[in-house]
Amino acid sequence: MKFGKEFTSQMVPEWEGAYVSYNYLKTILKEILTFRQRRQQNQTPPLHCSSPKTYLLKRRSFYRAFSGLTNRYNNEDEAYNKEEEAILVSETEMEEQPAECRRHQTHVLHRSSEEGAENELVFFKVIDDEFKKVNSFYRDKVEEVVMEAEELNKQMDALVALRVKINDPHFQTSSTPFNSGPSPLEEIDELEERPEREHNKMVSLEILNSVKINVIQESAISTLKNILIGTKSDLSFTKEELRNAQTKLRQAFVEFHRKLRLLKSYSFLNQLAFSKIMKKYDKITSRNASKSYLQMVENSYFGQSDDVVKLMERVEAAFIKHFSNANRRQGMRDLRPRSKRDKHRITFFIGCFFGCSIALAVAVSLTIHIRELLISEGRDQYMSNIFPLYSLFAYIILHMLMLAVTVYFWKRFRVNYAFIFGFKPNTELGYKEILLLTSGLSVLTLAAVLSNLEMEMDERTQSFKAITELVPLGLLIVVLAITFCPFNIVYRTNRFVFITCIWRCVFAPLYEVTFPDFFLADQLTSQVQLLRVLEFYVCYYGFGDFKRRSNTCTQSDVYQILFILVAVVPYWFRFLQCVRRVCEQKDYNQTANALKYLSTILAVITRTIYVQNRGMTMRIIAATSSGVATIFNTYWDIVKDWGLLCRNSKNPWLRDRLIISNKSVYFVAMVLNVILRLAWMQTVLDFHEAPALHRSMVGNFELLSRCRCLLATRMETRNYDLLWKKKKKTKCFWPNCIKCSVA
């Protein structure tokens, strides 16, 4: 692999703009090379006429490769380097800046007046600007991690004091101020050599009086108590609090160590990029400029600073001592988890299940065609009762397929979605695992449809008619049983996260809104039809005569009211989440977002009432509310969520930073979003149904329109960028850890 591609593949996506513009510098060098080739074609010397300097340059470069074996030509090389010095790198101290803040400027010493030399001047101007950018960014990031290390020190101090308080309640605090002693990230070796009791004497428990310990997981009951009763001023410390604090602070150390590794990689990659590009310059121009410039790079802050390395050593020592029982191998394994490996058996079963699904789909189609079920007398009865039951699984399968595509693009464009959603290392689902679950569910669903048709059409199975009607319910019970299974099978960690997020969405205003919560609530707004089918399950099997494939409960007033409320529930979740974020984070942009969901709720209610009752007046109200909601939601999707339609962007009508290189994808996605949004109007404008289709199938077109939320451009890192910025502003390095409020 060429260095340019390897350099791009190893970039940190959030820091992409801070790396050396290696490809742009290569473009300038190509222009220099092209000009030199054209000039040589016009002034080509005889083949035997080689200049002494060129010959000496080749001979010198040959012996340089063996400089470790011989120093015969060292003196000659030094003399030649002084003679052939191509550039002069100077450092000018900036006014009103610290002494270490110097501006580097490169001067071309000779041949600057030659024809075509302006490209070389441009090259050195660009590379100087790139060097300044990299050096400044690295310095800022080092200062940032040093501040985060201080916050981790405070949190670690509080954790050590909490351990002493709980394990030794009668321990008397020392009179020595806490800040005067060594912190857990400092003097680790000295602390390890002292007995535990002597170490305890160094701990001042007074820090527990100035630090608020908030390690109890937030719950709906605790939030209500805080609202009604208020927060208690006295602090009680328990072992449960200690365990929660250790778990969260341990995770904070792992993420902090990961950030230090990224900074170290950033420094190494940029130094390597400068080395590669300067060697290319020497090769093209036959000059000796790389040595002087790379010497300046090596002496710079990001080339010489070892703050990150020292901080990594301190973090590793503290982590091994306090979280791994002084077991270095275990501690380093936790700090540097191995990347998740692809399993070949998953790929095998995906292919196997998808092949079975295709075979079952063909079998169902042939059964329907051969027995002419589409024109049979029981067609309407089947489409009104059985088809909606199986459409539930079609919604789930299609949504999971779209999610698999989303995760695939996240993985391809190196979006750290595992960190965004808060998964433990190597427990997140990849697109292959999601495809495995999708294909498995499709096999079960198509097998159930085929068995349902066979049992009903075969005369030998007429006595099992009740069992025939219970097949969809049995399949739903199997899916729910797997979802809520407490055993460690079928990705239990991810199922637990899913159930937790569902619970937090149901009690939205009583929980702090996190990224997984409003992401899942957004997905639920795309599955209104699925929730309505669940209501139909209760109606059909609870209050209908499923043995005779008939029900009258859908005509009741209670069902009609619930039909509206069920469709409103997901939007209500998002509305409450927006209100919570306005009150808690003072993010007043969420006020407009809340109004957007209110307009959507109004549109859903009026459209549903119009479908149930009809009437010209209701049609006008439904069309107006749906039009306003469509315009509002489309604008919010494209401008706010996707950050597109920017006038002053360097990418016309897109944003400055794009993950997908093909810009046409964004414009296609915007057009598709508008078209699918117009599906809102299908029930209001009375689209004519195709004669071969039943109304139930036409109504399910909304499934496709609702899945627009997983279009390719919405898998960008907008929310990740906001999350990263938010973490930099928090007082503690890790949210919901030991919150530092030192007096």
Which structural domain, as residue segments, surrounds residue 223?
Answer: 1-44+85-337
pLDDT, average across residues 237-251: 78
User: Residue 646: what pLDDT?
Assistant: 81
Statement to judge: residues 262 and 120 lie in one domain = yes
pLDDT at 677 over 80: no
Same domain, 346 and 330: no
Exposure letters 329-339 (e unless 16+ CB within 10 A, then b): eebeebbeeee
Say if residue 256 is in the same domain as residue 403: no
Does 84 score more than 80 pLDDT?
no
Q: H-helix or E-strand containing 604? A: helix 589-613
Average pLDDT, stretch 156-177?
Answer: 65
DSSP annotation string for 626-672 = HHHHHHHHHHIIIIIIS----TTSSSTTS-S--SSS-THHHHHHHHH
Q: In this structure, is residue 514 part of a structural domain?
A: no
Mean pLDDT of 178-190: 45
Residues 150, 196 contacting (CB under 8 angstroms): no
pLDDT for residue 573 is more than 90:
yes
pLDDT for 222:
64
The answer on 245 and 219 residing in a single domain is: yes
CA angle 422, 427, 431 (to 5 degrees): 100
Contact call for residues 36 and 44 (beta carbons, < 8 A): no
d(Cα 129, Cα 91) in Å, to the nearest integer?
Answer: 14
Looking at residue 55, its pLDDT comes to 42
* Distance separating alpha carbons of residues 521 and 543, to the nearest angstrom: 30
pLDDT band at residue 481 under the 50/70/90 scheme: very high
pTM of the predicted structure, to 2 decimals: 0.75
Strands 102-108 and 87-93: antiparallel
Higher local confidence (pLDDT), 150 or 468: 150
Q: Round to whole Å and give the CA distance between 387 and 90.
A: 78
- What pLDDT score was predicted for residue 610? 86
Q: What is the pLDDT of the chain when averaged over all its residues?
A: 75
Taken in order 503, 507, 508, 513, the sign of the CA dihedral is: negative
- Quote the pLDDT of residue 696: 52
Inter-residue contact 659 to 406 (CB < 8 Å) = no
Residue in 739, 732, 743 with CA at minimum distance from that of residue 179: 743
What share of the chain has pLDDT > 70, as a percent?
A: 70
| Encoded amino acid at 460, one letter | R
Indicate whether 299 belongs to any domain: yes
Residue 246 lies in a domain: yes
The DSSP line for 445-504 is HHHHHHHHHHHHH-GGGGGGHHHHHHHHHHHHHHHHHHHT--SS-SSHHHHHHHHHHHHH
Q: What burial class does residue 518 get, using C-beta atoms within 10 Å of its C-beta: 0-12 exposed, 13-18 middle, 19+ buried? A: buried
Share of the chain above pLDDT 90, in %: 24
CA distance 517 to 399: 17
What mean pLDDT comes out for the span 82-101?
52
How confident is the model at residue 89, as a pLDDT?
63
pLDDT of res. 728: 37
Interaxial angle between packed helices 307-323 and 118-167, expressed in degrees from 0 to 180 and rounded to the nearest 10: 20
Are residue 193 and residue 323 in the same domain, yes or no? yes
CA dihedral of residues 220, 222, 223, 225 (deg, nearest 10) = 120
Does the pLDDT of residue 51 top 50, yes or no? Answer: no
- Rounded mean pLDDT, 671-695: 62
Q: What are phi and psi of 543, to 5 degrees?
A: -125, 0
Q: What is the pLDDT of residues 261-282, one digit of tens each?
A: 999 999 999 999 999 999 998 8
Q: What is the pLDDT of residues 629-655, one digit of tens each?
A: 988 988 888 888 887 888 778 888 888
Which residue has better confidence, 666 or 210?
666
pLDDT at residue 401 is higher than 70 = yes
Split at pLDDT 50, 70, 90, the class of 477 is: very high
Nearest to 385 by CA among 469, 480, 446: 469
476: pLDDT strictly greater than 90 = yes
DSSP three-state, residue 736: coil
pLDDT-derived band at 81, boundaries 50, 70, 90: very low
In this prediction, residues 89-113 reach a mean pLDDT of 53
Lowest mean pLDDT among 41-50, 444-453, 567-576: 41-50
Which of residues 228 and 425 earns the better pLDDT score?
A: 425
Which residue, chain included where needed, has tokens 């391809």? 412
Work out the pLDDT band at 201, boundaries 50, 70, 90: very low
C-alpha 407/C-alpha 609 separation (Å) is 38
CA angle 95, 98, 99 (to 5 degrees): 90
Tell me which amino acid residue 145 is: V
329 shares a domain with 477: no
- In terms of Cα–Cα distance, which of 674, 672, 670, 678 is closest to 702? 678
Query: Are residues 287 and 387 both part of a single domain?
Result: no
Residue 495: pLDDT band with limits 50, 70, 90: very high
Task: Please tell me the least confidently modeled range out of 212-226, 274-288, 342-356, 698-712.
Answer: 698-712
pLDDT at 192 over 60: no
Residues 346, 320 share a domain: no
Query: Does 398 have pLDDT greater than 50?
Result: yes
pLDDT, position 204: 55
Q: Mean pLDDT across the stretch 543-560?
A: 81
Last-in-domain residue among 311, 337, 363? 337
For 361-391, write each residue's pLDDT tens digit: 999 999 888 877 777 766 777 777 788 899 9
One domain for residues 237 and 322: yes
Distances (CA, A) of 176 to 209, 313, 728: 15, 27, 32
Q: Total domain count for the chain?
A: 2
Cβ–Cβ < 8 Å for 292, 307:
no
Distance between CA atoms of 547 and 160, rounded to whole angstroms? 66
- Does 655 map to a domain? no
Domain boundary among 276, 302, 337: 337
What is each CA distance from 717 to 395, 415, 439, 658, in whole angstroms? 26, 7, 28, 9
pLDDT in the model for residue 196: 43
pLDDT at position 219, please? 65
**End-to-end alpha carbon distance in the chain:** 55
Cα distances (Å, whole numbers) of residue 528 to 136, 148, 456, 531, 537: 50, 43, 31, 5, 15
- Of residues 408 and 198, the one with the higher pLDDT is 408
Interval 207-211 mean pLDDT: 55
Strand partners of residue 288: 85
User: pLDDT band for position 61 (50/70/90)?
Assistant: very low
| pLDDT computed for residue 39 by the predictor | 77
Half-sphere exposure of 375 (CA within 13 A, CB side): 5
Kindly indicate the confidence band of residue 349, based on its pLDDT and cuts at 50, 70 and 90: very high
In a domain, 680, yes or no: no
Q: What is the dihedral of CA 302, 305, 306, 307, to 10 degrees?
A: -90
Provide the pLDDT confidence category of residue 733 given band limits of 50, 70 and 90.
very low
- pLDDT of res. 690: 46
Residue 527, in any domain of the structure: no
Residue 214 has pLDDT above 80, yes or no: no
- Mean pLDDT, range 714-731, rounded to an integer: 38
644 inside domain: no
DSSP labels, 74-122: HHHHHHHHHHTB-EEEEEEEPTTS-TT-EEEEEEE-SSTTSTTTHHHHH
Q: Are both 312 and 358 inside the same structural domain?
A: no
Q: 396 with 450, same domain?
A: yes
231 and 102 in one domain? yes
Comparison of pLDDT for 200 and 645, the residue scoring more: 645
CB 74 within 8 A of CB 102: no
Q: How far apart are CA 578 and CA 591, in angstroms?
A: 7
| Comparison of pLDDT for 201 and 361, the residue scoring more | 361
Q: Which amino acid is at 675?
A: I
pLDDT at residue 235 above 80?
no
Least reliable range by pLDDT among 41-45, 187-191, 507-511, 563-567: 187-191
Q: How far apart are CA 109 and CA 119, in angstroms?
A: 15
Residue where a domain terminates, one of 314, 337, 360: 337
Within a domain: residue 742?
Answer: no
Is it the case that residue 585 has pLDDT exceeding 70? yes
Which conformational region is residue 191 in: left (phi greater than 0), alpha (psi within -120 to 50 degrees), or beta? alpha
Nearest to 544 by CA among 473, 451, 453: 473
Average pLDDT over residues 353-366: 94
Local confidence band at 227 (pLDDT 50, 70, 90 cut-offs)? low
Range in 82-91, 383-392, 402-411 with the lowest mean pLDDT: 82-91
Distances (CA, A) of 492 to 265, 368, 427, 429, 565: 34, 38, 10, 11, 31
pLDDT for the residue numbered 608: 87
- The amino acid present at 68, given as its one-letter code, is G
Transcribe 326-343 into DSSP letters: T-HHHHHHHHSPPPPPPP
